Amino acid sequence: MSAAATHSRWPARGHAGFWAFAVHRVSGVALALFLPAHFWALGQAIQGEAALDGFLSWAERPSVRAAEVALVVLLAAHLAGGLRLLAIELLPWSDRQKTILALAAGFTLTAGLAFLLNLR
Amino acid sequence: MAATTLDIALWRGDAAGGAFQRYRVPAAQRQTVLDVVTWVQRHVDSGLSYRFACRVGMCGTCAMTVNGKPRWTCRTLVDAAAKDGRLEIAPLANLPVVKDLACDMTAFFDKWRRAEGRFRPAPGLGGDFAVVPPESAARRQAEAGIECIGCAVCYSACDVAAWNSDYLGPAALNRAWTLHNDVRDGAGAARLKAVAGDAGCHSCHSHQSCREHCPKHLNPTASIAGLKRATAWAALKGEI
């Protein structure tokens, strides 16, 4: 029934609110995919000290540490974006939506950089 | 304006499908997108179908998708919308095409009805003039959304309406919010129940495309957020 096939929808999406949604959705899906891996890693402790230590030493690789930074950025982005959505839905409307988005992006960047600087 | 002719792509077709057709249209000063469409119909193909009435941004019938964005064509200057003298004009998204640039608005206005978008006088109303203080919180909330003329630009811009054909959409929900804040209205919990369902206010993802594209600069996202709070409170209090 839709006339969507008549043209691309993307030009109408070229604004901050849509991109905030996109970041929130992508980070949410990525974190959901990560969660089973996280539980599997914790589960190594049940297998004994050696199994966990083996995994932890594997996790010291630079590529894994880099992925860890990406994970922190995803977590920070999803947290900040979630708080933004809760503010929209639970608090009186604020016309400073782009400022709030900028604060969320700033928090995400700061969290990522702080984690990166603390890497050994 | 540098170009003497414009390169125009108009979507031609019907509900079964169609494609863009190219036209060369003479450029003119302060020419609107509606002027361009009208020129094609008057000079090239009288069979071109589109819809307009007032030409001054009051009736809301001439909305189309211009270079990918939903807009009133009567109030959009070619200079503001064209890229290198090129315009791509399509029917509104999220509504079935009748023919060419004209959409079937039935589903759009049916949703106003489903959202209890009509005034329901409160019991006892009509004895004397209702006194509505302009500065009261409820009146200010209603005032913010009341100028909607039902052009469906917001509905066409809405991603949720694209994903869920049952979604009531920004315009119908904005209407419900203005009535919810009308102290003379008596629908109360019935209207909140109508907008709280699976395809109602809680489906909104707050992309704010409606707010971004509304030619009247209304903010349906804020209205929908108000309905989310009102329906949540009503549910907690057991009213809906």
Shared domain for B139 and B83, answered yes or no, is no
User: Is B68 touching A (CB cutoff 8 A)?
Assistant: yes
Looking at the complex, does the CB of residue B88 fall below 8 Å from at least one CB of chain A?
Answer: yes
Same domain? For B229 and B110 the reply is: yes
Which B residues, 23 through 62, put their C-beta within 8 Å of a C-beta on chain A? none
Query: Are B68 and B130 in the same domain?
Result: no
Query: What CATH number is attached to the domain comprising B231?
Result: 1.10.1060.10
Rounded to whole angstroms, the Cα distance separating B37 from B104 reads: 19
Cβ–Cβ gap A90/B229 under 8 Å = yes
**Which tens digit of pLDDT belongs to each residue from B154-212?**
999 999 999 999 999 999 999 999 999 999 999 999 999 999 999 999 999 999 999 99
A7 in any annotated domain: no
B187 and B120, same domain (yes or no): yes
Considering the domain architecture, whether residues B155 and B96 belong to the same structural domain is answered as no
Residue A2 pLDDT > 60, yes or no?
no
For the domain that residue B65 is a member of, what is the CATH number?
Answer: 3.10.20.30
**Could you tell me the residue range of the domain that residue A62 belongs to?**
16-117
Nearest residue of chain A to residue B154 (CA atoms): A12
Answer whether A6 sits within 8 Å of B65, measured CB to CB: yes
Determine, yes or no, domain membership for A11: no
Claim to verify: residue B120 and residue B98 sit in the same structural domain: no
Three-state SS letters, chain B: CCCCEEEEEEEEEECCEEEEEEEEEECCCCCEHHHHHHHHHHHCCCCCCCCCCCCCCCCCCCEEEECCEEEECCCCEHHHHCECCEEEEECCCCCCEEECCEECCHHHHHHHHHCCCCCCECCCCCCCCCCCCCCCHHHHHHHHHCCCCCCCHHHHHCHHHHHCCCCCCHHHHHHHHHHHCCCCECCCHHHHHHHCCCCCHHHCCCCCHHHHHCCCCCCHHHHHHHHHHHHHHHHHCCCC
Cβ separation B68–A18 shorter than 8 A? no
Has residue A88 got a pLDDT over 80?
yes
Give the confidence band of B126 by pLDDT, cuts at 50, 70, 90. Answer: confident
Q: Which of residues 148-187 of B touch A (CB under 8 A)?
A: 156-157, 159, 162, 165
Same domain? B16 vs B112: no
Assess whether pLDDT exceeds 90 at residue B127: no
CA distance B95 to chain A (A): 5
Which domain range does residue B33 map to? 5-103
CATH number at residue A74: 1.20.1300.10
Q: What is the pLDDT at residue B2?
A: 58
For A99-108, what is each residue's pLDDT tens digit? 999 999 999 9
Q: Model pTM? A: 0.93
Terminal CA-CA length for chain B: 58
Give this complex's ipTM: 0.87
**Domain stop point among B56, B84, B103:** B103
Chain B residue whose CA is closest to A98: B208
Domain count, chain A: 1
Q: Indicate the pLDDT class of residue A5, thresholds 50, 70 and 90.
A: low
Closest to B73 in 3D by CA, of B215, B194, B189: B215
Strand pairing category for B97-99 and B17-26 = unpaired
Q: What count of CB pairs under 8 Å joins A to B?
A: 90
Instruction: Check if B231 contacts A (Cβ < 8 Å).
Output: no
Beta-carbon separation of B70 and A13 below 8 A: no
